[in-house]
Amino acid sequence: MSKQPSPTPASNALSSSIPSYLQADNLGPWGIYLQQVDRVLPYLGNLARWAETLRRPKRALIVDVPIQLDNGTVAHFEGYRVQHNTSRGPGKGGVRFHQDVTLSEVMALSAWMSIKNAAVNVPYGGAKGGIRVDPSLLSRGELERMTRRYTSEIGIIIGPTKDIPAPDVNTNEQIMAWMMDTYSMNEGATATGVVTGKPIDLGGSLGRRDATGRGVYTVGVEAARHIGLDIATSRLAVQGFGNVGGVAARLFAQAGARVVAVQDHGGTIYREAGLDVPSLLAHVAQAGTVAGFLQAEVLANDLFWDVDCDILIPAALEQQITHENAGRIKARMVIEGANGPTTPQADDILQERKILVLPDVIANAGGVTVSYFEWVQDFSSFFWSEDEINARLVRIMKEAFAGVWEVAQDNKVTLRTATFIVACKRILHARELRGLYP
């Protein structure tokens, strides 16, 4: 029997003036984003007059998602779609199904999508969506009904030229197929471009599934070259072992790196000589977690942050690296596969310890880059080979990273601040050129 998770209140209002999420111990995702914006203001020049644009989502929609459960009862779930900024193009960002989804989180994720899309210079604004639900408590039929009702509820603001959802935490190709079909039925015409991350047979792109992890690997290799780190002799610790962490681990291992520790929702495993990544990926595909993998020893979850490694890849959820554990990290480089995994306080600690942080807004932009390719292919009904997709992705990621690295060196700032400088200037310049209407 399915049961509805108990609701939790959506946190934080839209105004940037409420002190509660400016408190150091209670920032929340939106508060973290606001601090990041504050740090970039001195570098915006005349564009700073438009900076308030960055602090206010363009549009936030909260919807009720009622469905009939398999047992005949009716359950209600709360859903969100936030469009942070559309100055450079239609909104773009994923949809997550998770029991801890809040308005603050979705607002922040939509804002980070604005930054990310501008950083790699794809013609999108930022958006994000989610439903507060534990999808593991739903049957397949219930999951489909919830997805379709949510899509219908947000259908008034999404569309191929308005806002294009994509997969995120606990959503996948099948969820996107249901969203595309629901939107198309309501429109009376097939609209493959309304979502990305679809199955190949419905207009999806080759290379999309591995794109975020491939982007993490690409910028990691570029950064390692700048700091004199040999990938072939490096040790990795990875948090999260799905499409991002698992793919990145596989690519780094193929380049000779040793993946010595992996943590996911099921536990933490360690092997000093290096984990057999293909075997671990096969185990996770079967068991759904790294727990129970016999070719490794089990670590207490908290000890993950003490693992001696060269590269740490947090590829799970937000606010994993905090002021409480940042001082324990032994890596030379942190590559943020997840969105918002490092708090501002932790960022400062890592900088003081001379640990290079490759921020999410550049490091995990591979997914949205290939989503852009998918969207373009859907409009033209002409599809590229996987080799072409990967080559285009690597080129864009390398060029974007090179630009961010140069800005960081010129201004003597972190890569995160440098990425925000590049992205915010592009967003605000577009805002300035377009002007205000009416």
Q: What φ, ψ does residue 222 adopt, rounded to 5°?
A: -65, -45
Residue 26: what pLDDT?
Answer: 56
241 inside domain: yes
Q: How confident is the model at residue 330 (pLDDT cuts 50, 70, 90)?
A: very high
Is residue 364 within 8 Å of 244, Cβ to Cβ?
yes
Dihedral sign for Cα atoms in the order 395, 397, 398, 402: positive
Residues 172, 219, single domain; the answer is no
Residues linked to residue 262 through DSSP beta bridges, in sequence order = 238, 269
**In-domain check, residue 331:** yes
User: How many whole angstroms separate alpha carbon 230 and alpha carbon 179?
Assistant: 43
Strand partners, 356: 333
User: Which CATH number does the domain housing residue 218 bear?
Assistant: 3.40.50.720
Question: Structural domain tally of the chain?
Answer: 2
Residues 275 and 179 reside in one and the same domain = no
Residue 19, pLDDT above cutoff 70: no
Q: Based on the fold, state whether residues 127 and 250 are members of the same structural domain.
A: no
**Percentage of the chain with pLDDT > 70?**
94
69 located within any domain: yes
Active-site residue numbers? 128
- The stretch 330-350 carries a mean pLDDT of 93
pLDDT over threshold 90, residue 53 = yes
Which residues 6+ apart lie within 8 Å of 20 measured at CB? 12, 26
Whether residue 43 is contained in a domain is answered as yes
Residue 28 falls inside a structural domain? yes
> Residue 20 — very low, low, confident or very high, per pLDDT cuts 50/70/90?
very low
Q: What is the mean pLDDT of residues 3-15?
A: 39
pLDDT, average across residues 388-406: 96
Evaluate if residue 107 carries a pLDDT over 60: yes
- 334: containing domain: 211-363
Q: Are residues 325 and 219 in the same domain?
A: yes
C-alpha angle 388/285/392, rounded to 5°?
10
pLDDT in tens, 161-200: 999 999 998 999 999 999 999 999 999 999 999 999 999 9
Last residue in a domain, options 311, 339, 363: 363
Q: What pLDDT, on the 0 to 100 scale, is given for residue 17?
A: 44
How many other C-beta atoms are found inside a 10 Å radius of the C-beta of residue 435?
A: 6
What three-state secondary structure class fits 361? helix
Shared domain check, 128 and 37: yes
| 25-44 pLDDT tens trace | 456 889 989 999 999 999 99
What is the model's pLDDT at position 7?
A: 40
pLDDT exceeds cutoff 50 at 14? no
pLDDT at position 339: 87
Percent of the chain residues past pLDDT 90, beyond the cut? 87
Residue 287, pLDDT > 80, answer yes
* Mean predicted lDDT score pLDDT of the chain: 92
